[in-house]
Amino acid sequence: QTQFTCDHQCNTPEKWNHANNACAGKSQSPINVVTRKALKDERLTPFQFTNYQQIFKGTIKNNGHSVQVGVPHVSTISGGGLPTTYKAVQFHLHWGTNGGPGSEHTIDGEQYPMELHIVHMKQDYTDLTTALSDPEGVAVLGFFYERSNSGNRKYEPIINALQKIKATNANTSFSEVSLTQLIPSEQNLTSFYRYKGSLTTPGCTEAVIWTLFENPIPLSMEQLKAFSDLKFHDGKPMVGTFRPVQPLNGRQVFRSGS
Ligand code: SG4
Ligand code: ZN
């Protein structure tokens, strides 16, 4: 077997099966959620968000395949049908071209313009690598975006920072943000979908409990377009940073009780 190496996208996620056998697994992400087939599960109660409102000064980085922000390991989630408490590690986004379709997950075939992933690991772990060796070690909260006519002021620190990190490996610090300000208010987070899947990039490790919230986050077209100003390593516009949806292979998708 020939060794196939590529950096992240390769820019062709179709080749990932060759790059890494795990990417050809049977429980891959993202998926299309067929809402009429999602089974309502009363155990999927609302989440408890702890220290999500904590304000931090972050470093935002163009890592060559996304924009990523490391988060101090103090914000946690529990409830929501999770087996234990998970702490936030980082967040990043996936988007399309100039505000066009760009989410990784789709709902009844609809692809949203962008998707936020807040990556968490079980509280007792100290690094993601260890967490990924536990089949339930990682919990990613996924949020969709929708175009709105008015801009979202709460995203200004992030959007403004993008202009300073157009080049791959560039990073900058940004003014104070909290996770709370980036997501819908807590009472709008009780409706969500749940399934077991994988990282959406190589190694495609099947160790992720996925949550997809129904209520999208509003951003103006201009704000969405700002992400397309970033550049891949080769200088080409960083657009289409999503993996196509993967087969369910018999997995059940659940929906929250409320
Ligand atoms: C993005 O490429 C992030 O930048 C990666 O973060 C992340 O990998 C990867 O997506 C997969 O995460 O929620 N989409 S996802 O399944 O979080 C990890 C880093 O490269 C391990 C650290
Ligand atoms: Zn992601």
pLDDT at 11: 54
Output the six-digit token pair for 150: 């008015």
This complex has an ipTM of: 0.97
- Ligand 1 pocket check for 117: Cβ under 6 Å: yes
| Residue 176 neighbours by CB distance under 10 Å | 10
What strands, in cross-sheet order, belong to the sheet with 106-107? 32-33, 106-107, 110-111
Q: Among 103, 119, 195, which residue has the most ligand 1 atoms within 8 Å of its CB, making it the best to mutate?
A: 119
Specify whether the CB–CB gap between 128 and 119 falls below 8 A: yes
Contact 103, 114 (CB under 8 A): yes
Residue 201, ligand 1, Cβ within 6 A: yes
Which pLDDT tens digits describe the chain residue by residue (258 residues)?
A: 233 344 444 556 666 666 667 899 999 999 999 999 999 999 999 999 999 999 998 899 999 999 999 999 999 999 999 999 999 999 999 999 999 999 999 999 999 999 999 999 999 999 999 999 999 999 999 999 999 999 999 999 999 999 999 999 999 998 889 999 999 999 999 999 999 999 999 999 999 999 999 999 999 999 999 999 999 999 999 999 999 999 999 999 999 986
Q: Which of 6, 31, 92 to mutate to test the pocket of ligand 1 (most atoms within 8 A of CB)?
A: 92
Q: Measured from the CB, is residue 70 less than 6 Å from ligand 1?
A: no
DSSP letter assigned to residue 75: -
- pLDDT the model gives residue 5: 42
Please answer whether residues 189 and 46 qualify as being in contact, where contact means their C-beta atoms are separated by less than 8 angstroms. yes
8 and 64 in contact (C-beta within 8 Å)? yes
What are the catalytic residues?
65
pLDDT at 19: 63
Cα 25 → chain centroid: 20
Per-residue model confidence (pLDDT) at position 3: 35
Phi, psi at 76, each rounded to 5°: -130, 160
CA–CA dist 148, 30 (Å, integer):
25
Helix (H) or strand (E) holding 94: strand 86-95
Is 131's C-beta closer than 6 angstroms to any atom of ligand 1?
no
**Please, are residues 142 and 116 in contact by the beta-carbon 8 Å criterion?**
yes
Say how many Å lie between the CA of residue 250 and the centre of ligand 2.
Answer: 23
Write down the pLDDT at residue 122: 98
Other C-beta atoms closer than 10 Å to the C-beta of 65 total 18
